Amino acid sequence: MRNDPIVTDPVPHVRVWDLPTRLFHWSIVALVFVSWLSADQGLMTIHLWSGSALLALLLFRIGWGVVGSTTSRFRDFLHPPRKVAGYLKAMAGGEKPLHAGHNPAGGLMVVALIAILLAQALTGLFANDGLHFSGPFANWVSEETSVQATTIHGAIFNVLLLLIWCHVVAVGFYLFVKGDNLVRPMFTGKKPHSHVPAGLTLNFTRLYVALLLLVLTAGIVVWIVQQGAVL
Amino acid sequence: MSALAYLGCVGLITALGVGLAMQLRPPFGHAVRQFVGLETEPRANTDSFYAVRVAPLLDSRCAGCHGARMQKAQLRLDSFAGLMRGSRHGAVIEPGRIKDSELFTRISLPASDDKAMPPSGKTPLTADEMTVIRLWIAAGASGVQRVVAGAPSPVREIKLPEVDPRAVQKQRAPLAAAVTRLQSRFPGVIDYESRSSANLEIHAALNGPAFGDAELAALLPLKDRIVWADFSGTAITDASASALAAMTSLRTLRLSNTKVTDTTIRALAPLKALRSITTAGTGAREVALAALRQRGLAVYGGGDAQ
């Protein structure tokens, strides 16, 4: 792990997001879109692949939340409800609390999105489209259970849409109302130093750890899908 | 930008998005309009052609995947409202326009087509069933219209009662030993009425003159279960009258070419279940048989004719 002391002057920007977290974020955006489009168009083989990739990335993100860089770790952005409420209250009062990574409310959204996407990917393993396609584990359970999984799979998507809407609206709120662009740092990895608490030290986990973790989680998902396909 | 202005923009954009989704996803659009009271849910009368002829077809062939349990393509075919609402791709019924009605297009595709409905592996609709749907759409896909000209007659479905082997076995149990013993004594003569019944049939005619009054008396342990008996051509006489009269479940009795007379016929008077009797070639006379006829029995071969 490397320590990157924040130099606030004269450097205008500070590195806050590591590459794996940024790639994860935009990959998830792309895969959710591909998953929706493929299901809508009945391209179920693509849907299986995008869903499996989503599952692998979600497992990666959970692992990265433990061994990743400072701002990617759960302990950095998971806060008790009281702190989240305090943050929201401060925001409503016109204050602008600084956070290098996810703010307490954003952290809650991250966890909610990961949880809902995980539920979506897992129910998809047991779902079927009633025609020519079944999830890898659809034949491992009764038809009734598979139908229930399919129903839940469809219902969760609506919840996911709602969460995405909340996420986008919140990001827009920071951009247009608070003047804090959260999108650009998710591309560049850097925030203006004025948007980061002074004197903060962020640690960045080396890239090969992320690669190893990704290989591991992808392997787990490939194995899971293959197990399902055996029956 | 102030928070209020931003929220206003979000509300406006969200409303535009919902409006767009309502256009692109008709079921969603109908659901929203019905929710806010801008649209009433279409309903069909219970005596309409749709309810009597079309709905049962859709229920049996389509509602498995397009019903309460599952809504493939967001399409429900288990209600008139769902059918008229259409799928996420749009309307599936265009009243009066067969060629534009996706539902009819799908059900009339060859089974080898990926888009054929019901999908491969499921029972396709028969030609008559497709005709019913075609004529209904052509006539305007109404939920009120009771008659559609030219529609094939409905196929009458006969539902046989479910057979519960355990219940049948339980019914047969009290006489099972006696039946087995007598079947062994009179091979081929005693059989159950059906797989689902404990009632018995007696085919004594198979034994001809070798079957007499003593043999008939041997069947008495089974008397309550005998519903059909053929003693034609056997050696039974009026001595069996009381044994026959004890068979209170008898519905059909064949006595042709036996030595029974009016005595036996009169003895049968208490048999309330008896519906048919055959007496050709017996000593029974019309005077005795007339009483049975008056009761509404079918009497074949009056004794006077011999």
Q: How many structural domains does chain A have?
A: 1
| DSSP-based three-state secondary structure for A43 | coil
Q: How large is the average pLDDT for residues B56-70?
A: 87
Percent of chain B with pLDDT over 90: 59
Radius of gyration of the CA atoms of chain A, in A: 20
| pLDDT at residue B51, rounded to an integer | 93
Q: Is residue A1 part of a domain?
A: no
Of B47, B45, B48, B40, the C-alpha closest to B136 is: B48
Please indicate whether, in this complex, the C-beta atoms of B6 and A173 are within 8 angstroms of each other: yes
| DSSP-based three-state secondary structure for A96 | coil
Mean of per-residue pLDDT scores for chain B: 89
Quick one: B250 exposed, middle or buried, by C-beta within 10 A (0-12, 13-18, 19+)? Answer: buried
ipTM comes to 0.73
Please say whether the beta carbons of B238 and B244 come within 8 A: no
Q: Is residue A175 part of a domain?
A: yes
Q: How large is the average pLDDT for residues B116-144?
A: 89
- CB under 8 A, 24+ apart: contacts of A108-112: A108/A78, A108/A79, A108/A84, A109/A163, A109/A166, A109/A167, A109/A170, A110/A77, A111/A74, A111/A78, A112/A163
Which chain A residues are closer than 8 Å to B9 by Cβ? 176
Cα–Cα separations (whole angstroms), residue B221 to A205, B173, B195, B210, B265? 93, 13, 21, 20, 22
| DSSP-based three-state secondary structure for A179 | coil
Residue B239 has, within 13 A of its CA and on its CB side, a CA count of 9
| pLDDT at residue A7, rounded to an integer | 47
Please indicate whether, in this complex, the C-beta atoms of B119 and A129 are within 8 angstroms of each other: no
| pLDDT at residue B192, rounded to an integer | 95
| pLDDT at residue A117, rounded to an integer | 96
Please indicate whether, in this complex, the C-beta atoms of B3 and A147 are within 8 angstroms of each other: no
Give the β-pairing of B252-254 and B226-230: parallel
Q: How large is the average pLDDT for residues B151-156?
A: 80
Percent of chain B with pLDDT over 70: 98
pTM of the model: 0.62
Q: Is residue A10 part of a domain?
A: no
Amino acid letter, A215: V
Element (H, E) at A45: helix A44-67
Measured between CB atoms, does B112 come within 8 Å of chain A? no
Optimal mutation site among B1, B12, B24, B106, interface A, most CBs of chain A within 10 A: B1
Domain with CATH 3.80.10.10 in chain B: 172-305
How does pLDDT run across B203-256, given as a tens digit for each residue? 999 999 999 999 999 999 999 999 999 999 999 999 999 999 999 999 999 999
| pLDDT at residue B302, rounded to an integer | 67
Please indicate whether, in this complex, the C-beta atoms of A147 and B6 are within 8 angstroms of each other: no
Beta bridge partners of A231: none
Q: Is the pLDDT of residue B306 over 50?
A: no
What is the nearest CA distance from A150 to chain B, expressed in angstroms?
Answer: 8
What is the nearest CA distance from A151 to chain B, expressed in angstroms?
Answer: 7
| Rounded Cα gap, residues B269 and B291, in angstroms | 8
Confidence category of residue B189, pLDDT binned at 50, 70, 90: very high
Lowest-confidence pick of A45-49, A53-57, B39-43, B183-187: B39-43
| pLDDT at residue B170, rounded to an integer | 94
Of B139, B72, B152, B155, the C-alpha closest to B104 is: B139
How does pLDDT run across A10-66, given as a tens digit for each residue? 557 889 999 999 999 999 999 999 999 998 887 888 999 999 999 999 999 999 999
Of B88, B147, B115, B22, the C-alpha closest to A36 is: B88
What is the nearest CA distance from A88 to chain B, expressed in angstroms?
Answer: 14
Cα–Cα separations (whole angstroms), residue A125 to A41, A228, B71? 19, 8, 19
Q: How would you write chain B as a 3-class SS string?
A: CCHHHHHHHHHHHHHHHHHHHHHHCHHHHHHHHHHCCCCCCCCCCCCCHHHHHHHHHHHHHCCCCECCCCEHHHCCCCCHHHHHHCECCECCCCCCCCCCCHHHHHHCCCCCCCCCCCCCCCCCCCHHHHHHHHHHHHCCCCCCCCCCCCCCCCCCCCCCCCCCHHHHHHHHHHHHHHHHHHHHHCCCCEEECCCCCCCEEECHHHHHHHCCHHHHHHCHHHHHHEEEEECCCCCCCHHHHHHHHCCCCCCEEECCCCCCEHHHHHHCCCCCCCCEEECCCCECCHHHHHHHHHCCCEEECCHHHC
Which chain A residues are closer than 8 Å to B71 by Cβ? 154
Optimal mutation site among A95, A126, A129, A131, interface B, most CBs of chain B within 10 A: A131
Domain that holds residue A77: 16-230
Please indicate whether, in this complex, the C-beta atoms of A177 and B2 are within 8 angstroms of each other: yes
Please say whether the beta carbons of B245 and B223 come within 8 A: no
Fold of B172-305: 3.80.10
| Rounded Cα gap, residues B253 and A102, in angstroms | 93
- Residues with Cβ within 8 Å of A43's Cβ and at least 6 positions away in sequence, in order, are A37
Residue with tokens 């029972």: B123
Measured between CB atoms, does B4 come within 8 Å of chain A? no
Q: Between vectors from CA A64 to CA A62 and to CA A67, what angle results, nearest 5°?
A: 120
| pLDDT at residue A229, rounded to an integer | 64
What is the nearest CA distance from A196 to chain B, expressed in angstroms?
Answer: 22
Q: How large is the average pLDDT for residues B183-207?
A: 94
Which residue in B1, B70, B88 is closest to A130 by CB distance?
B70
Q: How large is the average pLDDT for residues B85-105?
A: 88
Which chain A residues are closer than 8 Å to B89 by Cβ? none
Higher-scoring residue by pLDDT: B196, B306: B196
Lowest-confidence pick of A3-12, B45-54, B63-72, B198-207: A3-12
Higher-scoring residue by pLDDT: B15, B29: B15
Q: How large is the average pLDDT for residues B62-79?
A: 84
Amino acid letter, B278: T
Q: Is residue A75 part of a domain?
A: yes
Residue with tokens 């433990």: A66
| Rounded Cα gap, residues B39 and B61, in angstroms | 29
Measured between CB atoms, does B106 come within 8 Å of chain A? no
Which residue in B10, B14, B119 is closest to A131 by CB distance?
B119
- Residues with Cβ within 8 Å of B62's Cβ and at least 6 positions away in sequence, in order, are B77, B117, B118
Residue stretches of chain A with pLDDT short of 50:
7-8
Please indicate whether, in this complex, the C-beta atoms of B70 and A176 are within 8 angstroms of each other: no
Element (H, E) at A212: helix A207-230
**CATH number, domain containing residue A94:** 1.20.950.20
